[in-house]
Amino acid sequence: MNKPTVHDIAKEAGVSLATVDRVLNARPGVRKQTIARVQEAVARLGYVRDTSAANLARQRQYRFVFVLPEGPSQFVDTLTAALREATAAQIADRLLVKIVTIPAHDPHGIVRVLQGLNPARLDGVAIMAPETPQVRDAVARLRNAGLAVVALVSDLPNAPRDYFIGINSIAAGRTAGLLMGRFARAGGEVLVATNSLRSRDSLERRLGFDDVIAADFPGLAVLPTVESFDDPRRMEAVVAEVLRSRPRLVGIYSMGTGNTRILDALRESGRAGELVSIAHELTPATRRGLESGAVTAVITQNVGHLIRSALRVLRTLCDRTPIFEAQERIRIEIVVRENLP
Amino acid sequence: MNKPTVHDIAKEAGVSLATVDRVLNARPGVRKQTIARVQEAVARLGYVRDTSAANLARQRQYRFVFVLPEGPSQFVDTLTAALREATAAQIADRLLVKIVTIPAHDPHGIVRVLQGLNPARLDGVAIMAPETPQVRDAVARLRNAGLAVVALVSDLPNAPRDYFIGINSIAAGRTAGLLMGRFARAGGEVLVATNSLRSRDSLERRLGFDDVIAADFPGLAVLPTVESFDDPRRMEAVVAEVLRSRPRLVGIYSMGTGNTRILDALRESGRAGELVSIAHELTPATRRGLESGAVTAVITQNVGHLIRSALRVLRTLCDRTPIFEAQERIRIEIVVRENLP
DNA sequence: GAATTTTTGAGGTGCGTACCTCAGAATTGC
DNA sequence: GCAATTCTGAGGTACGCACCTCAAAAATTC
How is A10-45 classified by DSSP, letter by letter?
Answer: HHHHTS-HHHHHHHHTT-S---HHHHHHHHHHHHHH
How far apart are alpha carbons B321 and B319 in whole angstroms?
5
Instruction: Look at residue B90 in the predicted model and tell me its pLDDT.
Output: 54
Nearest Cβ partner of B336 from A85, A178, A341? A178
- Residue A184, domain member (yes or no): yes
Residue A90 has pLDDT above 80, yes or no: no
pTM beyond 0.85:
yes
Give the CATH number for residue B45: 1.10.260.40
How is B127-146 classified by DSSP, letter by letter?
Answer: E-----HHHHHHHHHHHHTT
Instruction: Look at residue A296 in the predicted model and tell me its pLDDT.
Output: 96
Task: State which residues form the domain around A294.
Answer: 169-300
Identify the burial level of B256 via C-beta atoms within 10 angstroms of its C-beta, where 0-12 means exposed, 13-18 middle and 19 or more buried: buried
Q: Are B179 and B294 members of one domain?
A: yes
Q: Do B338 and A85 touch (CB under 8 A)?
A: no
- Residue B246, domain member (yes or no): yes
For A101, the 3-state DSSP assignment is strand
Q: Are A207 and A194 members of one domain?
A: yes
Residue B92 has pLDDT above 70, yes or no: no
Instruction: Look at residue A16 in the predicted model and tell me its pLDDT.
Output: 87
CB A122 within 8 A of CB A64: yes
Is B214 an interface residue toward A (CB < 8 Å)?
A: no
Is A7 an interface residue toward B (CB < 8 Å)?
A: no
How far apart are alpha carbons A227 and A234 in whole angstroms?
9
For A329, the 3-state DSSP assignment is coil
- Residue A55, domain member (yes or no): no
Nearest C-alpha of chain A: how many angstroms from B28?
27
A54 Cβ nearer than 7 Å to chain C strand = no
Q: Are B39 and B71 members of one domain?
A: no
Closest-CA residue of chain B to A169: B339
Instruction: Look at residue A336 in the predicted model and tell me its pLDDT.
Output: 97
Q: Do B52 and A55 touch (CB under 8 A)?
A: yes
Is B274 an interface residue toward A (CB < 8 Å)?
A: no
Instruction: Look at residue A264 in the predicted model and tell me its pLDDT.
Output: 87
* Cβ-Cβ contacts under 8 Å for A113 (sequence gap 6 or more): A67, A100, A101, A102
Stretch B266-286: mean pLDDT: 89
Q: Are B138 and B239 members of one domain?
A: no
Out of A148-162, A234-248, A257-271, least confident range: A257-271
B93-108 confidence digits (pLDDT tens):
788 899 999 987 788 8
Nearest Cβ partner of B338 from A51, A53, A212? A212
Identify the burial level of A106 via C-beta atoms within 10 angstroms of its C-beta, where 0-12 means exposed, 13-18 middle and 19 or more buried: exposed
Closest-CA residue of chain A to B56: A53
Q: Are B221 and B247 members of one domain?
A: yes
How many CA atoms lie within 13 Å of B63's alpha carbon, on the beta-carbon side? 10
Give the CATH number for residue B243: 3.40.50.2300
Residue A121 has pLDDT above 80, yes or no: yes
Closest nucleotide to the alpha carbon of A33, via C1': C7
Stretch B160-165: mean pLDDT: 95
- Residue B42, domain member (yes or no): yes
Is B171 an interface residue toward A (CB < 8 Å)?
A: yes
How many Å apart are B111 CA and D12 C1'? 48
- At A91, the pLDDT band (50, 70, 90 cuts) reads low
Closest CA to A174 of A201, A204, A202, A212: A212
How many Å apart are B9 CA and D4 C1'? 32
- Residue B341, domain member (yes or no): no
- At A268, the pLDDT band (50, 70, 90 cuts) reads confident
Q: Which residue's CA is nearest to the C1' of nucleotide D14? A: B57
Report the domain count for chain A.
3
Q: Are B160 and B226 members of one domain?
A: no
- Residue A316, domain member (yes or no): yes
- Mean pLDDT for all residues in chain A: 90
**Which bases on strand C have an atom closer than 7 Å to a protein beta carbon?**
6-12, 14-21
Q: Are B177 and B132 members of one domain?
A: no
Alpha helices in chain B (DSSP H): 6-13, 17-24, 32-45, 51-58, 74-88, 107-116, 133-144, 169-183, 200-216, 232-245, 259-269, 284-292, 303-319, 325-328
Nearest Cβ partner of B212 from A90, A177, A338? A338
Q: Do B341 and A331 touch (CB under 8 A)?
A: yes
How many Å apart are B119 CA and D9 C1'? 36
Q: Are A204 and A310 members of one domain?
A: no
Pairing assessment for the beta strands A297-300 and A333-335 based on DSSP bridges? antiparallel
* Cβ-Cβ contacts under 8 Å for A100 (sequence gap 6 or more): A65, A66, A67, A68, A113, A117
Q: CA A69 → CA A53, A80, A154, B88, B93, distances in Å?
A: 37, 10, 11, 38, 36
How far apart are alpha carbons B309 and B330 in whole angstroms?
8
Stretch B287-307: mean pLDDT: 94
* Cβ-Cβ contacts under 8 Å for A274 (sequence gap 6 or more): none
How far apart are alpha carbons A73 and A227 in whole angstroms?
17
Stretch B123-148: mean pLDDT: 92
Instruction: Look at residue A105 in the predicted model and tell me its pLDDT.
Output: 77
Angle subtended at Cα A180 by Cα A177 and Cα A183, rounded to the nearest 5 degrees: 145
How much of chain B, in percent, has pLDDT values that exceed 70? 98
Residue A71 has pLDDT above 80, yes or no: no
* CB < 7 A to strand C: residues 33-52, chain B: 47, 49-50
Q: Are A42 and A67 members of one domain?
A: no
Q: Which residue's CA is nearest to the C1' of nucleotide D15? A: B57
End-to-end Cα distance, chain A = 45
- Residue B97, domain member (yes or no): yes
Q: Which amino acid is at A236?
A: E
Instruction: Look at residue A27 in the predicted model and tell me its pLDDT.
Output: 85
Identify the burial level of B182 via C-beta atoms within 10 angstroms of its C-beta, where 0-12 means exposed, 13-18 middle and 19 or more buried: buried
CB neighbourhood size of B215 (10 A): 11
Residue A92 has pLDDT above 70, yes or no: no
Name the phi and psi angles at A18, rounded to 5: -60, -40
- Residue A25, domain member (yes or no): yes
- At B89, the pLDDT band (50, 70, 90 cuts) reads low
Nearest C-alpha of chain A: how many angstroms from B175?
5
How far apart are alpha carbons A267 and A272 in whole angstroms?
5
